[in-house]
């Protein structure tokens, strides 16, 4: 029945959808509270609740506190009525989650990306795993509301096309119609947005972060992706600006040349490629490091090696990371000075894999902010949902299509 909520709705069906949305958002909730929220007459509210119960979209979840007389019945949505898939497409992995309507994780699949994982390989992986999970759970297409995708960019979101991302490990990433590819092979509706937007939505909708009205979310790894909620609303921006991400604020006008063609960008100092390049260059100069014992050739050093070395206290790698994090912190302080967020969430492998990088960025940004705005209180953390935030938020895209605010 939820799938019918997007058709041309009568006023009665719009009211039914609104009632279900309130139960979804505030449940367990009593009829009295629903009447207060919707302004419905008691008889109308009772009739619509009975209809939702008959379709097994909600259930009676016990009794609330009595304010005199009988205890009120509480209602919640039935989370196993339908299911959603959420997909995270990054530059280093693709992740697939199967979730119920409460966006609770039921099953997870992950594909690491390398030189051979072209878009066709990724789509084949997703089709295979979605089909397999549906068979294991005995799910028909009617029971799957849709597939949400949180992806690297740039995107044509209206048509569901992944345009021409940079720094992907395999060839063939030009104008990939991933929405059509999945819909044709699976027969399930697909919805797509930037991964940083879906991650931010998940953290905002499913955790205590909805107490904040102005939030910045940064995913930092091979590139830098930034999402914003301003005055309680997600700011989506333009698809035209998504190719290089948002790591190109200039912090050194006479600095290193960046992939974007400019000089001194944050990306040129603090991205994974920049960090790896700096470590390799220092090793070639003869600098000592435990990495020499772990690779046969200096060019074989990769980001995981560096993370492990930093976490073991290797001086060379630790200094490189401190320097990279300092530049990232300067960039973040500039964001704070312009947007004045109350909360900044830092995600992605550079922040999650190395405590040193995260703490240095946080310390630098807060210190710079205090100089200019000593009374501005700001919270910086790594969020509550971890690596799954983007995929969970992608599932939320599907629910948002059927249950708009």
The fold for domain 211-383 equals: Nucleotidyltransferase; domain 5 (3.30.420)
Q: Give the separation between CA 156 and CA 162, rounded to whole angstroms.
A: 6
Give the residue carrying structure tokens 């069906």: 13
Per-residue model confidence (pLDDT) at position 70 = 86
Question: How far is CA 140 from each of CA 1, 79, 82, 84, rounded to the nearest angstrom?
Answer: 14, 16, 10, 12
Beta bridge partners of 93: 112
What CATH number labels 2-77? Answer: 1.10.10.10
Of 319, 276, 221, 357, the C-alpha closest to 284 is 276
pLDDT band per the 50, 70, 90 thresholds, residue 99: very high
Asked if 152 and 90 count as a contact pair (C-beta separation under 8 A), the reply is yes
Question: How far is CA 316 from each of CA 275, 282, 362, rounded to the nearest angstrom?
Answer: 12, 8, 21
Mean pLDDT of 147-156: 94
Which contacts of 125-129 are long-range, i.e. CB under 8 A and separated by 24 or more positions?
A: 125/94, 126/87, 126/94, 126/96, 126/182, 127/182, 127/185, 127/186, 129/96
Per-residue model confidence (pLDDT) at position 30 = 95
Beta bridge partners of 307: none
Per-residue model confidence (pLDDT) at position 60 = 95
Token pair in block for residue 70: 């009988």
pLDDT digits (tens, 9 = 90+) for 301-338: 999 999 999 999 999 999 999 999 999 999 999 999 98
Q: Give the separation between CA 179 and CA 48, rounded to whole angstroms.
A: 35
Q: Is 135 helix (H, G, I), strand (E, B) or coil?
A: helix
Question: How far is CA 397 from each of CA 57, 120, 166, 199, 221, rounded to the nearest angstrom?
Answer: 19, 24, 25, 11, 24
Q: Is 110 helix (H, G, I), strand (E, B) or coil?
A: strand
Q: Give the separation between CA 107 and CA 305, rounded to whole angstroms.
A: 30
The beta strands (E) that lie in 116-248 are given as: 144-151, 155-156, 161-162, 190-194, 215-220, 224-230, 233-235
Token pair in block for residue 355: 């405590």
Q: Which residues of 279-312 are buried (b: 16+ CB within 10 A; e: fewer)?
A: bbebbeeeeebebeeeeeeeeebebebbbbbbee
Per-residue model confidence (pLDDT) at position 43 = 95
Mean pLDDT of 268-295: 95
Given a cut of 80, whether residue 238 has pLDDT beyond it is no
Per-residue model confidence (pLDDT) at position 29 = 95
Token pair in block for residue 179: 């929405």
- Sign (positive/negative) of CA torsion 135, 136, 139, 141? negative
Of 294, 295, 254, 301, the C-alpha closest to 275 is 301
pLDDT digits (tens, 9 = 90+) for 351-392: 999 999 999 999 999 998 888 888 888 999 999 999 999 999
Per-residue model confidence (pLDDT) at position 277 = 96
List the chain domain ranges.
2-77, 83-202+388-402, 211-383
Cis peptide before 28 (omega within 30 of 0): yes
Q: Give the separation between CA 235 and CA 229, rounded to whole angstroms.
A: 6
Given a cut of 60, whether residue 271 has pLDDT beyond it is yes
Per-residue model confidence (pLDDT) at position 240 = 54
Given a cut of 80, whether residue 155 has pLDDT beyond it is yes
Given a cut of 60, whether residue 192 has pLDDT beyond it is yes
Per-residue model confidence (pLDDT) at position 123 = 98
Given a cut of 70, whether residue 161 has pLDDT beyond it is yes
Task: Indicate left, alpha or beta for 162 from its phi (over 0: left) and psi (-120 to 50: alpha).
Answer: beta
Crossing angle between the packed helical segments 119-136 and 178-186, to the nearest 10 degrees? 40
% of residues, the chain, pLDDT over 90: 80
Looking at the whole model, is its pTM more than 0.85? yes
Per-residue model confidence (pLDDT) at position 239 = 57
pLDDT digits (tens, 9 = 90+) for 105-142: 999 999 999 999 999 999 999 999 999 999 999 999 99
Token pair in block for residue 400: 């948002």
Q: Give the separation between CA 268 and CA 257, rounded to whole angstroms.
A: 7
- Chain center to CA of 295: 34
Q: Give the separation between CA 29 and CA 49, rounded to whole angstroms.
A: 12
Q: In sequence order, which ranges of 285-354 are alpha helices (DSSP H)?
A: 303-311, 315-339, 349-352
CATH class in words for 83-202+388-402: alpha beta
Mean pLDDT of 182-190: 97
Asked if 153 and 165 count as a contact pair (C-beta separation under 8 A), the reply is yes
pLDDT digits (tens, 9 = 90+) for 240-263: 555 556 788 888 889 999 988 999
Token pair in block for residue 127: 């089709």
Of 183, 190, 126, the C-alpha closest to 158 is 190
pLDDT digits (tens, 9 = 90+) for 46-80: 999 999 999 999 999 999 888 777 899 999 999 99
Domains 83-202+388-402 and 211-383 share a fold: yes
Mean pLDDT of 2-10: 78
């Amino acid at each position: 029945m939820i799938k019918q909520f997007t058709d041309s709705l009568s006023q009665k069906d719009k009211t039914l959808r609104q009632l279900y949305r309130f139960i979804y958002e505030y449940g367990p909730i009593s009829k009295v509270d629903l009447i207060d929220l919707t302004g419905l007459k008691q008889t109308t509210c009772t009739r619509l609740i009975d209809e939702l119960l008959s379709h097994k979209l909600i259930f009676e979840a016990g009794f609330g506190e009595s304010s005199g007389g009988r205890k009120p019945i509480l209602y919640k949505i039935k989370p196993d009525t339908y299911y959603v898939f959420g997909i995270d497409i990054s530059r280093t992995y693709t992740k697939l989650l199967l979730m119920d309507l409460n966006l609770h994780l039921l099953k997870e699949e992950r594909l690491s990306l390398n030189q051979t994982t072209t878009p066709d390989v990724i789509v084949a992986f997703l089709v295979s795993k979605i089909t397999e999970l549906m068979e294991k759970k005995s799910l028909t297409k009617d029971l799957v509301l849709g597939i949400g995708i949180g992806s690297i960019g740039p995107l044509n979101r209206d048509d569901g096309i992944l345009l021409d991302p940079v720094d992907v490990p395999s060839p063939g990433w030009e104008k990939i119609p991933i929405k059509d590819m999945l819909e044709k092979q699976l027969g399930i509706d697909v919805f797509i947005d930037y991964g940083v937007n879906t991650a931010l939505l998940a953290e905002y909708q499913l955790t205590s972060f909805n107490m904040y009205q102005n939030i910045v979310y940064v995913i930092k790894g091979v590139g830098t992706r930034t999402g914003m909620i301003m005055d309680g609303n997600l700011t989506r921006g333009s698809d035209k600006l998504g190719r290089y991400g948002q790591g190109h604020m200039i912090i050194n006008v006479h600095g290193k040349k960046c992939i974007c063609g400019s000089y001194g960008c944050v990306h040129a100092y603090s991205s994974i490629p920049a960090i790896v390049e700096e470590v390799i260059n220092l090793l070639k100069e003869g600098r000592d490091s435990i990495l020499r014992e772990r690779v046969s050739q200096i060019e074989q050093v990769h980001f995981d090696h560096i993370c492990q070395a930093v976490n073991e206290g290797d001086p060379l790698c630790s200094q490189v990371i401190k320097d990279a994090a300092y530049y990232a912190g300067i960039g973040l302080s500039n964001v704070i000075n312009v947007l004045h967020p109350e909360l900044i969430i830092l995600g992605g492998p550079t922040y999650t894999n190395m405590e040193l990088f995260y703490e240095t960025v946080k310390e630098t940004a807060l210190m710079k902010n205090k100089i200019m705005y000593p009374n501005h209180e700001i919270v910086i953390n790594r969020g509550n949902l971890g690596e799954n935030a983007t995929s969970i938020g992608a599932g939320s895209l599907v629910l948002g299509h059927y249950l708009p605010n």
